[in-house]
Structure 1
């Protein structure tokens, strides 16, 4: 209560003529929408888009985070600074030493409960006692703007304010702050859209973090007569700000017509690169071959009309559009026939086996996600419950799954940061995939299959399974696929309708594929003629036995499947299709 009392006294003692505040209570009111989370640095959980919780500050590095944000604040003594989002006030306290005494600071906050939480968490007296600080706390954007314009004369004789936002607050109350920002942004003429894509030969800046799709796409651009320029970085070791600087510098040195990446790699989470490309009117493309719903939740910033998202699974299109992207299209996976082609017998001999499966056990992947989540027995039981519910009825978003299980308002869920929310969703999908994959693979036991993968498989299966170490995608897989009589596939549960990479690579390498049915499969290959599929795990042994006993039937299916892949499903086809879509829509 000492902090609350000191802050309340400072608040009452200040000249509040310019403030717009709710009635001040004697003590901290009960919170109904926000959750104050104690810790090394107190933080606050607030409801965000679709009810998903947003954590306003780092629970361990809030001061460091605030210092970095304050360093980027526009400080001009002659112009008012409009600070959007109070949070608990870390960033505002770090800002004060940078402000000239005469510079007006106007703090805008939508939710009074956030103000009450701030008053009981940090010593805000330096901020509250500052004569040129104004506090505007009101839930209605129109009344907030009216107060700023009529009482404070901002934008109306009082000078156009500089805008400075607290990123997490902006995400949590995006609609409110967008209205405030729109009222004070200086209108700018939007340059005409780039017409560079109309050129026959394009300069393409390809952002590469050593992801498998990037080399294939780059070769396809080159085969089609375009000029790809690759910029590489290590997403695990390289500083995000340094990566951003290098990309922007390359944009200057190699003026591209298009920026291309996969899974948003290279784009910073604050949206600075997206904003810079939009200002340059430079189109960008991100081709998603993993769940965009999980990845894009981590990215803020503007959604440009020149930013296009291609998803390999068509069912993700509505979800991505709901995040604010307007240019969203479907683009299935493909193969590179320069890598996946039938190898000579000498290369196949060491890999000969009747049945094989190549894939990760996902044991380590799930464990890594759980390490970043609360470790209490209650939370682990909740994770198990959610995973089983997802397994029974897959392909639901986490928010819907939580609501169905009655866990949406559980304190342990509300306290999750946005990164932990993403880890929880990915962990559930991977755990369900692990169980589904194991159930399917166990059906192969009568054929003594070979499994190429990580050591986690040793925890799940034993003899008659023959376990081998992980193999190289480029140097080993083409020969493995060609040398195996029946290549088995069980699709990840993040794919609601799409088929995975194996569906394209195995036939291209001259291999026979037994895969699970997905809606997209019929658009890619004809089941029974160009590939073989099962609808339920119980069908696997019968199909495997049938085709192991009929090498001629396998050969005909492989020939037809490979011809279809080469005719329609190479990366050259996909890049050609992607550019055609961009040219029609941009």
Structure 2
């Protein structure tokens, strides 16, 4: 016997999705009294069979859903529609709430705020006194969590680092323990793909802000709900502001990386043997790269095009690749990730070519992947960021920085940490350097790998000039570019 064909509609991401219609897809959310359906499914006639003893069937429905289901245009008189913007029903406790569960995948940006309000109305959370605290999803070893935690503490906040899975699973329990002022997420860490966590926090009066420290389109490519557009976002690379706004992001600002001078300062132990060495410390590629870019390709023609551009004095960054690949839509289509992969592969070429021009004085602290890329290099084991790296920066003659092409206007931690540690940095040019004094940038930057030998020779021969520039740079960094500075920017942004 052939199974009946299910109705299919386009969800909020524009993807076709089937609509199941069994009773098991209607979830009781509690309450008593008249039924209030949060979505009535594709076949309203079945509801009278599933719930036969009701005088009326009150319901809320998503307008985008209604447009695609003709049977909702002429419902029996027993069905009474309540508008989602009618505030009175949110405070009514005499409804028995029943959710059509596929709604959370179909149109989460419509349903999650509604279910969040109804869920919170059954608790005392919104009446709690808000504490001057910040929750940070992650752990003590997560990217930037230690620095941000400490900076918030110095701004008189208490902070709590919460495992991302616990944030997503146990949000109501966490809010019953404490009502924080801020949840600060890095790269949407701790927030779920449908927006449930975000809307619960927002309805509870918690200010949520996400700091995008990687390519934002790589982060949101895994989010299938449009809710991310409502999340206040800060990004390290201001190139992305315009395309994110074009996609519908409602609140977005620029927040560059910074440094923690308690970690990076000249008062570190001696690291011997680097007095005349040019140093690069970094990975040959980022962890889980193959899994992240599964299905993406970097052809021999892509490689030739990238090398030709570099030899022509052009850095083939993310912007270059999306133009070359004719990418016009950044979300929800995944095509942008393919261009991102090509930019990432270009980054390997860019770093390798630059390091080849660094000469025989080069020392690389990194993984074994560098053996294949630079067979003759003085390669040393990776070093700990918080303990050994500051000493390497302080004691090296010159530290090199090559910015990832994934961030067209981006910077790296080296642009801040090396100077804070009293070291000397030569960096590739990027528009992101405009946050620093132009005269200092001009002295310590290069546009193409071929410029590097002359620049290195110049400063290796003039240690006094290196000391003078390092002092000036350190003053700039400590004045304007610590994580304590960034916390002030964050608080101004969300208030």
TM-score band w.r.t. shorter chain: 0.7 to 0.9
Residue correspondence of structure 1 range 183-582 to structure 2 within 5 A: 202-209=132-139, 210-232=141-163, 240=165, 242-301=166-225, 303=227, 307-344=231-268, 346-349=269-272, 351-362=274-285, 365-370=288-293, 372-373=294-295, 380=297, 392=309, 393-396=316-319, 402-403=325-326, 424-444=338-358, 446-463=359-376, 465-528=377-440, 532-582=444-494
TM-score for the superposition, normalised by structure 1: 0.65
What is the CA distance between 1:479 and its match in structure 2? 0.5
> 2:77 aligned with 1:102, yes or no?
no
SS at match of 1:396: helix
Conserved in 1, the CA contact under 8 Å of 2:26 and 2:101? no
List per-residue Cα deviations over 1:36-72 (Å, max 9, x = no partner). xxxxxxxx998985xxx85859xxxxx9xx99x9485
Conserved in 2, the CA contact under 8 Å of 1:530 and 1:560? no
User: Structure 2: how far apart are the matches of 1:362 and 1:426?
Assistant: 14
List per-residue Cα deviations over 1:513-553 (Å, max 9, x = no partner). 00011112132243447860001111111111111111111
SS at match of 1:338: coil
TM-score for the superposition, normalised by structure 2: 0.76
User: Structure 1 unaligned runs (5+)?
Assistant: 12-20, 22-43, 58-62, 87-95, 105-138, 234-239, 374-378, 409-416
Q: CA RMSD in A?
A: 4.7
SS at match of 1:506: helix
Count of residue correspondences: 454
SS at match of 1:437: helix
List per-residue Cα deviations over 1:310-343 (Å, max 9, x = no partner). 1011111223334443121101110000000013
Shift in alpha-carbon separation, 1:287–1:390, aligned structure 2, 3 A = farther
User: Structure 2: how far apart are the matches of 1:547 and 1:480?
Assistant: 18
User: Structure 2: how far apart are the matches of 1:73 and 1:223?
Assistant: 45
User: Structure 1: how far apart are the matches of 2:16 and 2:382?
Assistant: 38
User: Structure 2 unaligned runs (5+)?
Assistant: 53-62, 85-97, 310-315
